Chain A
Amino acid sequence: MSLTKQVVIDQITVTENGIVFYREATRIMEDGNQISQTYHRTSLTPAQDLTGQPANVVAICNAAWTAEVVAAYQAAQ
């Protein structure tokens, strides 16, 4: 019997106003079969500091956060 832990980003969502949400799933596997799963969610607002964020999330943020999106989000706050 071998237990392993997998942490994967299984959801990334961008809302209309530019907020990026992503979900990390932590899966405990026993001999290749999943025996438990937990979630951790994170949200990132336009122009937020992305230090320490996963590379694929950073790429999506950089694509979604155009100057227009950032300006519109900040104007709405």
Chain B
Amino acid sequence: MANGTIAASQLEMLSLSGTGIITITPPATNTNRAITLPDAAGALVVSGTTPSLNGITFPATQVPSADANTLDDYEEGTWTPSLGGTTTYSTQSGTYTKVGRLVFIRGILVITTIGTGSTTQISGLPFANASGVVCGISVGSFFASATAVSSFFASVANGGSVINVFSLVVAGTTEGTSAIFGNGTQFQFSGCYSV
């Protein structure tokens, strides 16, 4: 079949109803699936004896849409959270999932030796945070903080690609920047931000 045309032998696979419903039926050698788009209720229907939809594939490179109702991207992969410098790790891993402009990240750092790495900042995020807002990141677990703090929180910098970790040693009205990462620190985190 050439682009834009359907061979006569394949016409029996495609039907168009008077109400604009298109049904695609596979050849007789593979009759267990059919796709109807849209059905009478406006839904995409995959039917047959073993109905399944293996997935929706987006382009490897996003084609951005300004329309508020259009899902224009999906991607999942890995990234490497880093403190920079000469820090060494026994575990250093992260994953991401991007759906439209929403990015969900997860990461884990188990530091062997902090060396000259940052004690408060994780770099290497897979996408830049949108300008205009700092987005919070949840800390799921930590162990062996470099400073005895009473609380801390993490956030993705405005327009940036790093996570800053702030803390409070005592009750206060502004965020502090005590060292969090040191030799032996374990830090697991996750959260969302918008591109």
Contact = CB atoms under 8 A, between A and B. Distances in A.
Contacts of B128: 15, 19, 21, 43
A45 B61 contact: no
A40 B159 contact: no
Nearest to B80: A42
A76 B131 CA distance: 12
Q: How large is the interface on A (under 10, 10 to 19, 20 to 34, 35 or more residues)?
A: 20 to 34
A7 to B, nearest CB: 13
B132 interface: no
Q: How large is the interface on B (under 10, 10 to 19, 20 to 34, 35 or more residues)?
A: 20 to 34
Which of A10, A11, A42, A49 has the largest count of B CB atoms less than 10 A from its CB?
Answer: A42
Interface string B110-144: 00000000000001111110000000000000000
Nearest to A19: B161
Contacts, number: 55
Contacts of A38: 77-78
Contacts of B124: 42-43
Nearest to A13: B128
B157 interface: yes
A77 B177 CA distance: 13
A10 B60 CA distance: 9
A11 B124 CA distance: 15
Contacts of B60: 10, 25, 37
A42 B157 CA distance: 16
Nearest to B125: A43
B75 interface: yes
A32 B142 CA distance: 45
Contact of A39 (B76, B85, B159, B160): B76
Interface of A: 10-11, 15, 17, 19, 21, 23, 25, 37-43, 45, 48-49, 76-77
